[in-house]
Structure 1
Amino acid sequence: MVDALTFLTLFLVIVTLLPLWRHPHWLVRGWDFPRLQLAVFALFVLMANVFAHAHWLAIVACFVCLGWQLWWILPYTRLWRLEVKTAKGQDSQRRLRIITANVLTPNRQANKLITLVHQFQADVLVTLESDDWWQSQLETLETQLPYTMKCPLDNLYGMHVYARFPLEDTSVEFLIEDDVPSMHALLVLPCGEKIRMHFLHPAPPSPTENPASAERDAELILVARSVSDSAQPIIVTGDLNDVAWSSTTRLFRKISGLLDPRVGRGMFNTFHADYPFLRWPLDHIFHSHHFRLRQIQRLPSIGSDHFALFTELYLEPSAAQKENGLQAEAEDDAWAEEIIQEQNVSDEKVPRPGQ
């Protein structure tokens, strides 16, 4: 019993400390993902050590690990202060409803997604992993969402955007990897305001895809730096293959200055749809301080390994109001520069619609 508890305690300490090392290998970065599960595990090991009258060092180690995991995930609970205030405006011409959906290429239940688009009256649908088959199935939406961007691929990185409102300065780019696209556009609301939009789906760090997170991190930081000095209303959404509470997503938020409407509201875990005890937030939406939130929710299953995410934002008439976002420090800027330099890329490569 004592040997088993010692092993579990040592394992807990190792997987808690590993993400502090900024090495991009998936065996390191992967421990950013299950922080909720690790918090539950830490609580279990802590209680077991207490009941077994283990050495006080083991008890303290478990307590510190539990506190550390909670520090990362508590902002994504209702215990935290809202980062984005709730919208009170009623002007329908300033409202934007977005569905972000990783459809899973071999999934053949397109009817479920189409039904949700109609049910929630989406103004923008962005699909990830969509190929030619998905493109043919979604053509029926073009009567309601006539403005489109299409990049069907059969490598799990196809992407489509369908919009109710006009899209200007549209561009499909391959910012880091030659087979991983991103989309960029200026969306024109009925009120005449224009929103700069970036749709992303970088490759994850994993043994079956990229062994390291370097490419993913570089794409996120490229976009973050490109929007950081813009006064435009901005939205970034997609499957970022990174959890909301990771150090790299926090770095993205600090460098970009964008806000996360989930903070203070919930985790909205979108992956994995088939395993309730192994879920985390992989599908994201971030926006500039020009917006308030009307609603955000995880949608019912569409047959994919991801749930779709529905977000309704409201563009405030005045952009003067600031929210409670993260602030970048000198260390963050240095880390971002290191990530960019490693891939030998420049944020000048990112399109800046409307500029």
Structure 2
Amino acid sequence: MPLILHLANLFLRGTALMLSLVAAAAGLACLGGAFSVQLDALTHVAPVWLAVGLAGMALAAIFARDAERRAVMSLAAVGVLSTGLLIVPEVLSGLHAPAKPVPGATVKLVQFNVWGENNNPKATADWILSQNADVVMIEEGGGTAFPVVRALAKAYPNHLTCRDRQGCDTWIFSRWPLRAHRSFTEDKLPLFGAWATLDHPKGPFTVAATHFIWPFPGGPQQAQSRLLAKTLSPFPKDTLIVTGDFNSTPWSWSLRRQDKALGLKRRTRALASWPSGEFSRIASAPFPILPIDHVYAGKAWKTVKVERGPKLGSDHRAVVVTLTR
């Protein structure tokens, strides 16, 4: 029995060392993302590296001794501090008092990647309609999710989608008439999405919805981000609203640059939206861990409420944002 305990202790100490090394290396690589888009790809999963570092630190504290304990815990601390520097400010930035809604000047939006392999489109459509939102922006409205589009099109006669390019299933549905609108693909841009200027009783404003590619490998997604900022630059920033599945987390350097380039305030703060439920044919998730669905709005808008939707038939959770001006 003592031999088994000794071997178990060695195994756990070795595990602590391995986890701490991984956390330290990944944490430093995340900081290097400030200079390299390739390294920044690792930053999107910073919560994972943080959890790895904390696990290594806990195991070292319990099973290691003396100099070994200090060395391993120091390695883990490098990873924890590196990732914490990126994550904690984002979490704290969401701690603010909500604004009071102004009658007639409040807009409720739903941003939702409904997933082209949606396994319960009826429940998804029913939930979206139950929100009684003023504007609904969805991505991946094709495939098994197309019944969601049909249901929304009946409820929202003012709507548009991408055009002239296969695979672009981003949609905008509005309670108010569309004064002007255009799909990014009409200009042959390597960017999925569209914009629409809505004829609101309190004055028109423009909304845009987009769907970025994955951040791996680094480079193409950053190019899409720059193109989005350039494409939307002619619109008045005070009232502009931009939403989408950006496939980019708020602790990444790429999204930080996008925040600045758009010149808008991101209203979604550390609100995890992916993965949800069965996010592939072979994997499922008990809860989302990555905030990749975002809503931006100009300074004319004040945030009343930001909520996350329930688990439905998509691999994403919806984001529901109420703004007032």
TM-score normalised by L of structure 2: 0.82
Match of residue 214, structure 1, among 215, 219, 231? 219
Counterpart Cα distance in 1 of 2:58 and 2:266: 34
Q: Secondary structure at the match of 2:57?
A: helix
Show CA shifts across 1:120-170 (max 9, x none).
111111111112764455333334311111237996541111111122221
Q: Secondary structure at the match of 1:14?
A: helix
Counterpart Cα distance in 2 of 1:9 and 1:189: 54
Kept after mapping to 2: 8 A contact 1:228/1:257: no
Alignment of 1:1-355 (within 5 A): 1=10, 2-19=13-30, 20-21=32-33, 22-25=35-38, 28-51=39-62, 52-53=64-65, 54=68, 56-77=70-91, 80-82=92-94, 86-91=98-103, 93-131=104-142, 134-135=145-146, 137-151=148-162, 157-174=168-185, 180-191=191-202, 193-206=203-216, 212-225=217-230, 230-263=236-269, 267-274=270-277, 275-276=285-286, 279-315=289-325
Equivalent residue letter for 1:111? K
* Rg larger in structure: 2
Query: CA separation of 1:139/1:94 partners in 2, compared to 1, >3 Å: closer, same or farther?
Result: same
Kept after mapping to 2: 8 A contact 1:237/1:284: yes
Equivalent residue letter for 2:289? R
Q: CA RMSD in A?
A: 2.8
Q: Secondary structure at the match of 1:58?
A: helix
Instruction: Show the counterpart of 1:329.
Output: none
Equivalent residue letter for 1:268? L
Kept after mapping to 2: 8 A contact 1:104/1:306: yes
Kept after mapping to 2: 8 A contact 1:253/1:259: yes
Kept after mapping to 2: 8 A contact 1:228/1:255: no
Counterpart Cα distance in 1 of 2:51 and 2:206: 40
Instruction: Show the counterpart of 1:331.
Output: none
Equivalent residue letter for 2:213? A
Show CA shifts across 1:291-346 (max 9, x none).
1112111111221111111111112xxxxxxxxxxxxxxxxxxxxxxxxxxxxxxx
Q: State the shift of 1:71 in Å.
A: 2.2
Kept after mapping to 1: 8 A contact 2:118/2:145: no
Higher mean C-alpha deviation, range 180-189 or range 220-229: 220-229
Kept after mapping to 2: 8 A contact 1:224/1:255: yes
Counterpart Cα distance in 2 of 1:246 and 1:175: 30
Kept after mapping to 1: 8 A contact 2:117/2:145: no
Q: Secondary structure at the match of 1:100?
A: strand
Query: CA separation of 1:153/1:305 partners in 2, compared to 1, >3 Å: closer, same or farther?
Result: farther
Q: State the shift of 1:196 in Å.
A: 2.0
Q: State the shift of 1:118 in Å.
A: 2.4
Q: State the shift of 1:56 in Å.
A: 3.3
Query: CA separation of 1:102/1:89 partners in 2, compared to 1, >3 Å: closer, same or farther?
Result: closer
Q: Secondary structure at the match of 1:221?
A: helix
Counterpart Cα distance in 2 of 1:9 and 1:156: 42
Kept after mapping to 2: 8 A contact 1:110/1:138: no
Counterpart Cα distance in 1 of 2:320 and 2:94: 18
Equivalent residue letter for 1:49? A
Query: CA separation of 1:177/1:282 partners in 2, compared to 1, >3 Å: closer, same or farther?
Result: farther
List alignment gaps of at least 5 residues for structure 2. Answer: 1-9, 278-284
Q: Secondary structure at the match of 1:284?
A: strand
Query: CA separation of 1:185/1:58 partners in 2, compared to 1, >3 Å: closer, same or farther?
Result: same
Query: CA separation of 1:278/1:85 partners in 2, compared to 1, >3 Å: closer, same or farther?
Result: closer
TM-score normalised by L of structure 1: 0.75
Kept after mapping to 1: 8 A contact 2:273/2:290: yes
Q: How many residues align?
A: 301
List alignment gaps of at least 5 residues for structure 1. Answer: 207-211, 316-355
Q: State the shift of 1:177 in Å.
A: 8.0
Counterpart Cα distance in 2 of 1:160 and 1:16: 37
> Would you tell me which structure has more helix in proportion to its own residues?
2
